[in-house]
Amino acid sequence: MGKIHELPEVLADQIAAGEVIERPASVVKELTENSIDAQSTRIDILVEDAGLKSIQVIDNGIGIAADDVQIAFQRHATSKITSRDDLFRVRTLGFRGEALPSIASIADVILETMPQDASIGSMIHFKGGKLVAQQPYAGRQGTRITVNQLFYNTPARLKYLSSPQTELAAITDWVDHLAMSHPEVAFSLSNNGRTLLRTSGNGNLVQVISAIYGVKNAHQMIDFAGEDRDFQVSGLVSLPKLTRASKNYISILLNGRYIKNNQLSKAIIKGYGSKLMVGRYPIAVLAIQLDPLLVDVNVHPTKQEVRISKENQLADLITTSVANRIGQQNLIPSAVGNL
């Protein structure tokens, strides 16, 4: 008898969950991204005790057909890509089919969903990767997912979480970035009933930024834009007098996905020339549009790191676009920007 055997599915899901779901904020990110991919125009995120007690994401998107509800919780099951070619053209935030099975393997999860034009929806309940119940559900169109008792069966993970304040800050950080990536979606986030963010979904980035960083700061941001053969860049940068001591207020959104990229952050800073004091950084939102063929988002399970072709060319375009605007004599903030 050989010694090598396939792992039971629930165990494999828990191992995958270790990569995708690090903390409550990861659940919020994955579920909210699913709601965005489902073309929702309104997404409400309600957490209790910084997500440790419960996380609920409610959307008004396309929903999941009754036939698909169980499959959605299988590993590598996705409606977003079907072929290898699609992988290089992906425009949705998800495509790996890992989030739902991962979350269901380490928590108590109830999904209620009602597709557009369907006569009846479905409710499905998983705990620790096992199906607890499935029944018809009648409700409003869209999907509601409730995640209770996160990490109840992975005590080591639970033990290494930070303080509730830190976990809540991580949740807020994700929702802020999802909201600024999608000004056309109305978001709300609350913890224990207290509202932490609310956006209108009217498409105005300046308004989203004022909900996140405050009206006063938003009024000291100016819009910029530029394009070349391969890339379109646009966004908001703070006046040189409005700065922060860290680079954390520089947000890079690539085809609607919040990413981390040091070279591109530096390209924004470089656009200020000598106008920033040493050790000070601007507040900035940079939205990049490019052909998905020019980016590989399948580098890391959370997709925060991506590989961009022609990155130097993109960095130069960003620096020039910011410099053109920041270098102007009369900097008039675009309080009602057209972004």
Q: Where does this chain bind Mg ion (CB under 5 A)?
A: 34, 94, 99
**Cα(184)–Cα(165) distance, integer angstroms:** 29
Task: State which residue, 51 or 94, has the beta carbon closest to Mg ion.
Answer: 94
Minimal distance, residue 34 CB to Mg ion, in Å? 4
CB contact at 8 A, 59 and 28: no
Query: Can you count the helices (H) and strands (E) in the chain?
Result: 10, 17
CB contact at 8 A, 30 and 39: no
Minimal distance, residue 81 CB to ligand ADP, in Å? 8
Candidate list 64, 90, 109, 171; residue touching ligand ADP; CB under 6 A? 64
Candidate list 45, 58, 100, 175; residue touching ligand ADP; CB under 6 A? 100
Interacting partner of 79 out of Mg ion, ligand ADP, none (Cβ under 5 to 8 A depending on kind): ligand ADP
Between the alpha carbon of residue 71 and those of residues 42, 97, 200, 307, the distances in Å are: 25, 10, 33, 30
Q: Does 233 bind ligand ADP (CB under 6 A)?
A: no
Footprint of ligand ADP on residues 134-173 (CB under 6 A)? 143
Minimal distance, residue 234 CB to ligand ADP, in Å? 27
Give the binding range for ligand ADP (CB under 6 A) out of 58-66, 124-132, 238-246, 281-289: 58-66
Give the binding range for ligand ADP (CB under 6 A) out of 34-42, 239-247, 293-301, 316-324: 34-42
Between the alpha carbon of residue 235 and those of residues 178, 261, 290, 309, 313, the distances in Å are: 15, 16, 15, 21, 18
Nearest Cα neighbor of 140 from 168, 161, 162, 118 is 118
Candidate list 13, 24, 29, 97; residue touching ligand ADP; CB under 6 A? 97
Minimal distance, residue 35 CB to ligand ADP, in Å? 5
Give the binding range for ligand ADP (CB under 6 A) out of 33-41, 201-209, 219-227, 267-275: 33-41
Task: State which residue, 20 or 253, has the beta carbon closest to ligand ADP.
Answer: 20
Exposure of 241 in the CB half-sphere (CA atoms within 13 A): 7
Q: Does 58 bind ligand ADP (CB under 6 A)?
A: no
Identity of the residue numbered 171: I
Q: How many residues bind ligand ADP (CB under 6 A)?
A: 22
Task: Count CB-CB contacts under 10 A for residue 216.
Answer: 9
The closest residue (CB) to ligand ADP is 94
- What b-and-e string marks burial along 283-315, b requiring 16 or more CB atoms within 10 Å of the CB? bbbbbbebeeebbebeeebebeebebeeeeebb
**Cα(66)–Cα(15) distance, integer angstroms:** 28
DSSP string, 268-283: HHHTTTT-SPTT-EE-
Give the binding range for ligand ADP (CB under 6 A) out of 76-84, 122-130, 191-199, 284-292: 76-84
Task: Count CB-CB contacts under 10 A for residue 211.
Answer: 18
Candidate list 27, 99, 208, 323; residue touching ligand ADP; CB under 6 A? 99
Beta sheet of 42-48, edge-to-edge order: 130-137, 121-127, 108-114, 142-148, 54-59, 42-48, 186-191, 194-198
Q: Does 106 bind ligand ADP (CB under 6 A)?
A: no
Q: Does 185 bind ligand ADP (CB under 6 A)?
A: no
Task: Give the interface with ligand ADP as residue ranges (CB under 6 A).
Answer: 30, 34-35, 38, 59, 61-64, 72, 77-80, 94-100, 143
